[in-house]
Amino acid sequence: MCIMRFSLATITLVMSCALTSPANATVVFSDNFNSQNGGVTALNYSGFSNFSTTGNVDLVATPDFGITCAGGSGSCVDLDGSPGPGEIQTLASFSFNPWERVSFSFDVSGSQRGTLEDFNFGVRTAGGPIAFNNVKVSTAAFGNFNFANNVTSSRNFTGLGWASGQPFGNVTLRFDPGTAGSFRAYLGSGSADNIGVLIDNVSIDVAAVPEPATWMMLLAGFGLVGAALRRRGSALTQRQLI
């Protein structure tokens, strides 16, 4: 029985590790815009360190125009420039493999200036279409949304309306790529009246799901169970013979 207790404890340990071990998340990109342009507001800004721009977006430093960026200080991006519409897209592209999970995350708030504003976001593959599996968008404001798998060159989410007073909250797009590839992430607005949603704290991470090491632990655990059961059977046989 001692062998069995040891084995069950081992199994519990292995299963516990498999279920609770954080995925091997690697943050491959993050930008809070706070040091951009020396922390100074710039309308129709296109000098981002990590993003290209299309159309016009504004870099806004708290508390200019009555705007407070995420966390109560620092800078953020108004996606509807002077005027918009505008878009920012990561300069770098980020690679992934089929055993990994990709998450593109950012904080977004309403305009803080009395208008209902739209925005759109997504990812564009840099090396041709890929399978987007287990696509999920999580929002602090409105909960979680799951989407069907498909194979495409870009995964876009458009026409999202954010009320003026909607506070900064996280939005995360995650997907499990079916094949290796790479992508750039973007955020944009369709309106052009100088006032848009505010974006802050953009990040991208790539995590193995599950980690190969976790699978190895699971396989090792199953091996121990098999060995324990074989030893138990052998002991019973010996007792029966005695």
Residues lying near Ca ion in the complex (CB under 5 A) are found at: 32-34, 69, 74, 76, 80, 117, 191, 193, 195-196, 200
Of the two residues 162 and 175, which places its CB atom closer to Ca ion in the complex? 162
Task: Tell me how far, at minimum, the Cβ of 193 lies from Ca ion, in Å.
Answer: 4
Residue 49 class from Cβ within 10 Å (0-12 exposed, 13-18 middle, 19+ buried)? exposed
Contacts 24+ apart (CB under 8 A), 66-70: 66/112, 66/113, 67/112, 67/113, 67/198, 68/112, 69/33, 69/168, 69/198, 69/200, 70/32, 70/107, 70/109, 70/168, 70/200, 70/201
Of the two residues 204 and 228, which places its CB atom closer to Ca ion in the complex? 204
Of the two residues 108 and 195, which places its CB atom closer to Ca ion in the complex? 195
Task: Tell me how far, at minimum, the Cβ of 176 lies from Ca ion, in Å.
Answer: 29
Of the two residues 59 and 137, which places its CB atom closer to Ca ion in the complex? 59
Closest-CB residue for Ca ion? 191
45: which residues sit within 8 A by CB, 6+ positions away?
A: 36, 37, 53, 57, 58, 59, 81
Task: Tell me how far, at minimum, the Cβ of 78 lies from Ca ion, in Å.
Answer: 9
Task: Tell me how far, at minimum, the Cβ of 118 lies from Ca ion, in Å.
Answer: 7
